[in-house]
Amino acid sequence: MISGGMNIAAMLATVVLAYHFEQMNHIAIVIIACFVVVLCVVGLKLYLKHKNKNKE
């Protein structure tokens, strides 16, 4: 799951580098925001999994 996200991020970074530098800043912000959201979701899933495992 994480490697798939990294592959998508790498492809998006390649596209970002193809644009002009002014556009790159806006696109990079969107990509970073998406990456942070994905990290939060994965972290929350792992936290809940760990929390449920400790209850049992």
Tell me: the pLDDT tens digits for 1-56? 677 777 887 887 777 777 666 676 777 888 899 999 999 999 999 998 888 887 76
Token pair in block for residue 12: 């998006």
Question: CB of 30 within 8 A of CB of 19?
Answer: no
The reported pLDDT for the residue numbered 27 is 78
Q: How far apart are CA 42 and CA 37, in angstroms?
A: 9
What is the 8-class DSSP label of residue 19? S
Q: What pTM was computed for the model?
A: 0.55
